[in-house]
Amino acid sequence: MVHWFKRIKIMQLYLYYLITIIVVAFILWFYKNKSQDSRFKFLLFMALVNAVAYLINWYYFYIKANIWTLLPLQLCNLAVFLIPAALLTKKAVLMDFVFFICGLGALVAILIPGSDYAETYSMMTISFYVFHSSIFLIPLLNSLWGFHSLTPSIKSALRLSVMVLIISGSLHLFNLVLNNVYHIPANYFFTIKDLAAPTNPAFALFASWIPFDYFYLSVALPILYGYMGLVYLIMKQSKRLKQAV
pLDDT of residue 139: 96
State residue 94's pLDDT score. 94
Report how many domains make up the chain: 1
* Cα separation, 182 vs 173, whole angstroms: 13
Q: Long-range pairs for 217-223 at CB < 8 Å and ≥24 separation?
A: 217/168, 217/189, 217/190, 217/191, 221/161, 223/104
> Residue 187's Cα: distance from chain center in Å?
16
pLDDT of residue 239: 78
Q: Residue 12 — very low, low, confident or very high, per pLDDT cuts 50/70/90?
A: low
> pLDDT value at position 108?
92
Q: Which residues contact 53 (CB under 8 A, 6 or more apart)?
A: 127, 128, 130, 131, 134
Q: Which domain holds residue 212?
A: 2-244
Cα distances (Å, whole numbers) of residue 55 to 58, 72, 111, 185, 243: 5, 10, 21, 21, 45
Separation between Cα atoms, residue 8 and residue 200, nearest integer Å:
9
Instruction: Let me know how long the chain is.
Output: 245
Per-residue confidence (pLDDT) for residue 2, from 0 to 100: 42
**pTM of this structure:** 0.92
Confidence of residue 116 (pLDDT cuts 50, 70, 90): confident
Q: Other CB atoms closer than 10 Å to residue 34's CB: what's the count?
A: 12
User: Contact at 8 Å (CB) between 87 and 142?
Assistant: yes
Q: How far apart are CA 222 and CA 35, in angstroms?
A: 38
pLDDT at 47 > cutoff 60: yes
CB contact burial 216-237 (16+ within 10 A = b; e otherwise):
bbeebeeebbebbeebbeeeee
pLDDT score, position 245: 59
- State how far the Cα of 102 lies from the Cα of 225, in Å rounded to an integer: 14
Q: What is the mean pLDDT of the chain?
A: 91
Confidence at residue 244, expressed as pLDDT on a 0 to 100 scale: 67
Stretch 173-201: mean pLDDT, rounded? 95
Q: Which residue has the higher pLDDT, 21 or 240?
A: 21
